[in-house]
Chain A
Amino acid sequence: MSDIELYLFEADKNKMEAQRVATQSAGRLEAKTLKLIDLITSLEPYINDKDDGSIRAKSVTYLADVLSSLPPRVLSGQERRLLCDFILGRIEGDAEGIGASARALIALEGLGKWDADTVQKVLRTFIDNTHPLRQFKLQTERYALVQLIDLLLAKYRDALRQLHESDHEFMTGFISYFEGEKDPRNLMIIFSLLQVPMTEWDIHACAQDLFDSVFNYFPITFKPPPDDPYGITAQDLKDRLRDCIAANSDFAPYAFPQLLDKLDSTSMNTKRDVLHTIQACVLGYEAKTINLYSVTLWDALKFEILNVQEEDLALESLKALGLIAAKFAETAEGPLNAYLRPVIKECNEHLEDAPTKQSEATGRILHALAVSGPAVADKISKGVLPVLFSLYNGSQSITKRRGLLDVFNHIVAAYVELDELQPNTNTEALQAYANDALEAMIRALVNAPKAEVSFRLASLKGLTQLVSTRNALSEKEGERAVDTITDMVLHEQFEGHGDIRAQAIKALTDVAHSIPLVVRDRSVPAFMVELLDNPSEGSVLAPVLEAFAQLSTERQIFDTIALRLKNKYGVARHQGAPQQYQRSLLLALLYAFTFGAPMREDGIIRSAYYTEYAEPLLTDIASRPAAEQDHSTLDIVGRIVNVLLRPQGVHFQSTVYNKNLQWLSSAGKDEMLAMALAPFTLQYYAGMKAEVADAEDIVSVLKAQAHLALHASSDPVGVSTVLRHLSLLVNKFINPKTMQATLEASGIEVGVLLSATASSQAIGAAFAVVKGLLIQGKSGALATRYLQALLDILASEGKDVARHFATLLAPDDILSKENHCLVSGLYKQKIFNQSVPFMIDAVRTADASIKPNYLIALSGILRWLPYSVIEPSLKSLIAPLLQTLDLNEPAEQEVKASALIIFESLLMHDPTIVAEHTASLVTRLLNSTAGPANKADVRAKALQCLALAPRQLKREAVVPYRRQVVKRLQACLDDTKRSVRTEAVKCRTAWLGLDEGNEDEE
């Protein structure tokens, strides 16, 4: 059998095999064991079969498959030309196998470039003989055709343009050729290939036909089938179609009227498409074309902004308006004036009855336009500001003035944005009114009644923006603005009137960014006057100090702020100012270094700060006896040292470490002093890298701290600090390999601590050690054994031990990666797996008297775990959690609250799990809403959970409880706490809402 016979035999049964036959023929052609002429001759009887079109089609497919498998240079130029003619000749008489013919031609083109004649001939043959495309029912056939045409248009631009230029009829056929195509894959290509004539050819004569041929598809409403293998989305089609519509200015007379017509559509998606397309057209068409339609577009687009239907439509419309202005700003002034004239006229009209919905919209419109270019901003200012300020001065109404200021602020905001993009924007038009505005706003801030919050806020915002606009204000005017804001920050400390003080502080830091020197020279001294050296005990300087500290977020004045704070602290301390005040000054310094913008080198806070700020504080501490040490001051100093020390390199830290080693170790030997210094040493060691400290030193520190933990006084804060220190040492400094031995040597081996009659100090120490180990994750076996030991004592000890479990996972700012601690990525999961299943079992089997122990401990673990960790075990957790809600002792409120939080997440994420417990859950939640046995936060949380039930659970599951719940919630509406009542209202609304469904069914 010849290859073609084999191929025809397999073609319908086994596509792969047929393909293989074709590849084999190609191989033989390449090896010259088969001549092209013989191959064609062998096709003859089949390709011309009179009776069976499908055999003819398959023969062409064979030819196409063979050609696709051929490597280049096997066929000579002449052979390729002959083949081309052969295929084209066939098409004229027979359309069977048209897709394969196209594929064959694509393959031939791939084997060697065509000349212009061939290209023209190919395209003409197809357009003349296969018009229209839709006559071919198979998508794959049409697909091959459009691929071929796409290829021609992509590679042979000139040849095809000549074809169009020499024959005016050609385009008509070409345009209508694709009419009626519906398949998205084909359309993607057609939209793309049509762009070549649209953008490169002179299509003025047939613009309307060409436009209509694509606009017929607008708006695209295509929805891809659920498991579409081609991955074409509606958005892909929209993007390509939009590019077509925007391709040629000649489309404008057809595009704009039709688009604006569709803007009246009731479908939001259509409107969205229209707006995107208009934007593309404005970008794509020439300025002189847009000029013809600019006012028409304004008249249509403004409605979307003046009467907002959907916020995003308003935003898109604003963008379109801005693009039009930007188009003209680049070119001539005439069109820009013509466009802006009606805009400014209408905006000025809207200003007259400000503040209204439309005056608010006006502000947005003016901003969108002005921001599109300095020339536009200039014209807007010249057109609007005179009217705005004459209205402002002509009115006594504060609300009106506020409305006008809002609009003014929008315009200034545009200048600020312009200036960021291209510095030295021309602000002349704004300058003309800057002084008027400044006076008006200062007057508003100084004189207007404090209750006029929005008016003053608008003025404050305007002032900040004016300062940020370069050149808008003179130096003197800038100073007045800064003085006014500073004065507000310093002296408006009385109650009420919204958040204007917070806003003023924010404004001052913003201003400091633009004119740092003015703030440094005027505001900082003003603050210093307020901050007395030695205030009397009762004076309230905290707000001033807080505001001052916040200025440190501006890098340019950070050093000034920090230095002034340090000096002020020095003076206050020297003069014996109240402790509270000294502490506040240190806190301000800590705030500056934590949240402010200190100078950095290579991303690390400069080490000089440590030397200048932390070291003197440290020296001061070292020189004082135990009796003079103040616990909370030490804590703050410790934190300052910590924040400045911890990012530094090993070398720097080592120097610091060795410098302080001596006095610290001698202080450690004095029990009184060591206890007093505990808050400082904790932070100090937390900042050190592990490798800086010497192992032996650390062991002696551990021993000292262990001794304090087990024997020192019962001051709870002090003990807690020492215990945190234990966790830190265990976690960071002790070598995991010798962990147990070191613990034994220090007297804090957990097994020993828990043996026999453990004191409460010993239990605390045990939990501290285990916490350090669990988070570290390096001593897995030891940690597991210790954790189990803690779990075991639950059976014998009281609830106090159970409560300790909440400390194991509680967040701790000491044990963090920033403090160079070892934090295992999976420690939460590990602790969960090692403790929770055990406790679930214990709850099930335990005696009623010790069951609460397990419930409390369990909740102590669960409350700190992210939902994702708990999720896999939810089913088994529900029973113990429900029992937790039954705990009714006042001390157990925390435990209850954490159980409620879990139920809340459960109802949000996995309501099906809780569904079968609906009855018990609803009852317990209702019980938890009753005061005074339950605290306010428990009551509120219970109501939040209960409110989720009707939304998250199946209707039929909750409807039976509706009457009961709605009735019992009436009592909650009268709860003593306002926050609880608010939740009760929400909850009751949710349950009342169930009613509506009921009526529908009846």
Chain B
Amino acid sequence: MEADKDNANPTIINPSDLPSRRRSAPTAKRPGIFDALAPAYPSLADPLSSPEASSDSASSSDEEREEIDEQEVYDLISTISDPEHPLSLGSLGVVKLDDILILPPTSPRSRISTVRVLITPTTSACSLTTVIGLGVKVRLVNALPPRFRVDVRIKEGTSRTADEVNKQLGDKERVAAAMENRSLVNVVNTMLATCE
């Protein structure tokens, strides 16, 4: 029953080795264990200084901008499920942090940035590469603000059908047409169902 899968026994990346913002965040910033020993509640004298308010003012950078970066794009797509395995694209190494690139606007007058994602199929003959690419593309188009252009491609030298697939994914009309196909839409939706 496993025979019909293109790759029945893929290598799996351990969850703690997957790139995450928390993993690379400096430990010093996290609250120490002693902080919980003296909890602060809104005090009787000054009800405005409630914990939420004070913690907000502590990170006074409330309105300081956190830019959309590669890690954020990775977090959006790494939780997509593989159509063959009940595993995420991140843990299968289909999407990698290093293969995500955000290109700033090409001219100072333009607002349009580009997100480029390179996909690595689990085997070079993986027949579902197009579907995976489509899933990634749909997810990013829905989840990124319109000032981003989404460019999903197959990583060079990882798939025998790369050129063909790249052509399909790059073609707006063909992507739109694909999303009219009911069974394809269902597959993509199942893949995206595991996204938070």
Contacts and interface: CB of A to CB of B under 8 A. Distances in A.
B34 A546 contact: yes
Contacts of B49: 716
Interface stretch (A140-148, A352-360, A732-740): A352-360
A550 B33 CA distance: 9
Contact of A935 (B24, B62, B147, B185): B62
A357 B12 CA distance: 7
A174 B114 CA distance: 80
Nearest to A980: B66
A895 to B, nearest CB: 11
Nearest to A722: B45
Interface residues of A, number: 79
A620 to B, nearest CB: 20
Given A587-B34, A723-B45, A501 B27 contact: yes
A269 interface: no
Contact of B42 (A501, A591, A807, A973): A807
Interface stretch (A28-36, A112-120, A320-328, A984-992): A984-992
A996 B189 contact: yes
B52 interface: yes
What size tier do the contact residues of chain B reach?
A: 35 or more
Contact of B41 (A353, A717, A810, A976): A810
A831 to B, nearest CB: 16
Interface stretch (B125-133, B138-146, B163-171): B138-146
Contact of B26 (A495, A542, A894): A495
Nearest to B196: A986
Contact of A937 (B24, B34, B56, B86): B56
Contacts of B76: 985
B72 interface: yes
Contacts of B196: 982, 986
A357 B9 contact: yes
A580 B182 CA distance: 65
Contacts of B85: 357
A937 B57 CA distance: 12
A356 B142 contact: no
B34 A588 contact: yes
Interface in A786-831: 803-804, 806-807, 810-813
A139 interface: no
In order of increasing CB-CB distance, the 6 nearest A-B pairs are A720-B43, A454-B14, A974-B145, A495-B26, A723-B44, A720-B45
B46 interface: yes
A970 interface: yes
Interface in A476-501: 493, 495-498, 501
B4 interface: no
Contacts of B23: 453, 496-498
B80 to A, nearest CB: 12
A546 B37 CA distance: 12
Interface stretch (A128-136, A241-249, A763-771, A907-915): A763-771
Nearest to A979: B66
A357 B16 contact: no
B51 to A, nearest CB: 10
B177 interface: no
**Centre residue among B39, B41, B65, B182 by max chain A CB count within 10 A:** B41
Interface in A627-678: 635-636, 639
Contacts of B144: 973
A239 interface: no
B27 A493 contact: yes
A988 B10 CA distance: 33
A719 B9 CA distance: 66
18 contacts: A355-B12, A356-B11, A357-B85, A453-B16, A549-B33, A550-B33, A639-B38, A716-B49, A719-B45, A724-B43, A771-B44, A810-B50, A860-B47, A894-B52, A936-B62, A973-B143, A973-B144, A976-B64
B25 interface: yes
Contacts of B56: 935-937
B68 interface: yes
B7 to A, nearest CB: 10
A590 B37 contact: yes
Contacts of A435: none
A355 B185 CA distance: 33
A570 interface: no
B2 interface: yes
Contacts of B63: 931-932, 976
A813 B51 CA distance: 14
B108 interface: no
A271 interface: no
Contacts of A812: 41
B16 A498 contact: yes
B44 A767 contact: yes
A410 to B, nearest CB: 14
B157 interface: no
A723 B62 contact: no
Nearest to B147: A974
A587 B28 CA distance: 18
Contact of A720 (B16, B39, B44, B52): B44
A976 B37 contact: no
A554 to B, nearest CB: 16
B11 A453 contact: no
Contacts of A498: 16, 22-23
Contact of B14 (A402, A810, A999): A402
Contact of B34 (A360, A453, A584, A985): A584
A981 interface: yes
A329 to B, nearest CB: 31
B9 A495 contact: no
Nearest to B8: A307
A305 interface: no
B58 interface: no
A495 B27 contact: yes
Given A986-B196, A989-B142, A989-B143, A542 B32 contact: yes
A514 interface: no
Contacts of A549: 33-34
Given A588-B34, A932-B63, A976-B66, A452 B17 contact: yes
Given A495-B26, A989-B143, 14 more contacts: A356-B9, A357-B9, A495-B24, A497-B23, A498-B22, A549-B34, A639-B37, A716-B43, A764-B45, A804-B44, A810-B41, A810-B50, A897-B52, A981-B68
Contact of B39 (A357, A813, A932, A986): A813
Nearest to A311: B86
Contact of B32 (A546, A976, A999): A546
Contacts of A540: 28
A889 B53 CA distance: 14
A723 B185 CA distance: 62
B143 A988 contact: yes
Contacts of A986: 196
A806 B50 contact: yes
A240 interface: no
A582 interface: no
A69 to B, nearest CB: 63
Contacts of A587: 34, 37
B34 A591 contact: yes
Contacts of A937: 52, 56
Contact of A977 (B12, B25, B38, B66): B66
B48 interface: yes
A992 B10 contact: no
Interface string A747-761: 000000000000000
B47 A806 contact: yes
B53 A894 contact: yes
B195 interface: yes
Nearest to A502: B27
Contacts of B86: 308
Given A307-B2, A360-B12, A992 B142 contact: yes
B149 to A, nearest CB: 14
Interface in B163-196: 182, 185, 189, 192, 195-196
A716 B25 CA distance: 35
A981 B146 CA distance: 13
